[in-house]
Amino acid sequence: MPVILVMGLFYLYPVVDVFRYAFTDLTLLGGEGHYTLSTFANVLTRPELLQILWVTFIFTAGSVIGQQVIGLAMALVVVRSEKRHLFGTTILRTTALIAWVVPGIAGGIIWKMLFNEAPFGGLNSLLRLTGMAPVQWLSDPDVVMWSVVLSNIWRGTAFSMVVMYAALKAIDPSLYEAAEVDGASARQKLFFVTLPQLRPAILVNMILVTIQTLNTFDAIISLTGGGPGRATEVLSLYTFNVVFRNYDLAAGSVLSILMLAISLGLALIYAAFLPKEEKA
């Protein structure tokens, strides 16, 4: 019972307090604040909210799909390289993990230097060497979102690789032996043995990566600050701006509840596709 009380206070009290603030008009500038329902209506009817949600959807979908696909590809390469004792397997695994441990702010600064549109910018220098025209990575509204997605994929792919690597190692080798006896090609083994066996790991990984991506704002604030305009202002960054730049604590609480509702909704959708245990 004492453990339950401590855990409840530690994890539930902040959430309960956010719900309480959402029903007030509190600001960070002081004052007593009053309980009201108008904060919900004012925040949820803001004209910029739809654009913020659309930007958040593009950023989250691009990041989750990219991290899943590249993470799975890297895990397959590592597992096959280990079986054949190829040189460089450990280097590949370690290189990916380095990106994972880089703090979000530092990752944003690293990519800001790579995306620099000046002549010494990292990626544009490579494009010039190959004879291609430079790209306005951070100032073109049609390109900047994919620049942000690319930087987030770079940072988060290692987590997906670790999850997929563990799941691949747990697949029963006899399934592949049976497929080889039946004359299955490498592509058929991937689609009819590997991917079905990875289904629970893929769905659980999608839940974790989606929630992590929805809460990402440190890498974006250091890379673009949400601009140009509001081209990369995701919901988490918008919430940060509302609370710490507009000092509107009540509105930030409503946006936090909206983020919580979206995260829970997506988690429940993913969980619905998890394999169900057969009843005895």
Please compute Rg for the chain using Cα positions.
Answer: 23
Q: What is the DSSP letter of 132?
A: P
73 phi and psi angles, rounded to 5 deg: -60, -45
- pLDDT of 279: 56
Look up residue 228 and give its two tokens.
């140009």
Compute the average pLDDT of residues 94-102. Answer: 80
pTM across the whole model: 0.88
With 60 as the cut, is the pLDDT of residue 81 above it?
yes
Look up residue 69 and give its two tokens.
């696909």
Half-sphere exposure (CA, 13 Å, Cβ side) for 11?
6
- pLDDT of 8: 75
Q: How far is CA 153 from CA 66, 67, 216, in A?
A: 6, 5, 12
Compute the average pLDDT of residues 93-109. Answer: 82
Sequence-ordered list of residues with C-beta below 8 angstroms from that of 170, at least 6 positions apart, any chain: none
Q: Is residue 14 very low, low, confident or very high in pLDDT (cuts 50, 70, 90)? A: confident
Sequence-ordered list of residues with C-beta below 8 angstroms from that of 123, at least 6 positions apart, any chain: 114, 115, 135, 137
Per-residue pLDDT tens over the stretch 143-193 = 999 999 999 999 889 899 999 999 999 999 899 889 888 888 888 988 999
> ∠264-13-43 over CA atoms, to 5°?
55
Compute the average pLDDT of residues 102-115. Answer: 87
**How confident is the prediction for the chain on average, in pLDDT?**
87
Cβ pair 124, 134 in contact under 8 A: yes
- pLDDT of 277: 66
With 80 as the cut, is the pLDDT of residue 278 above it?
no
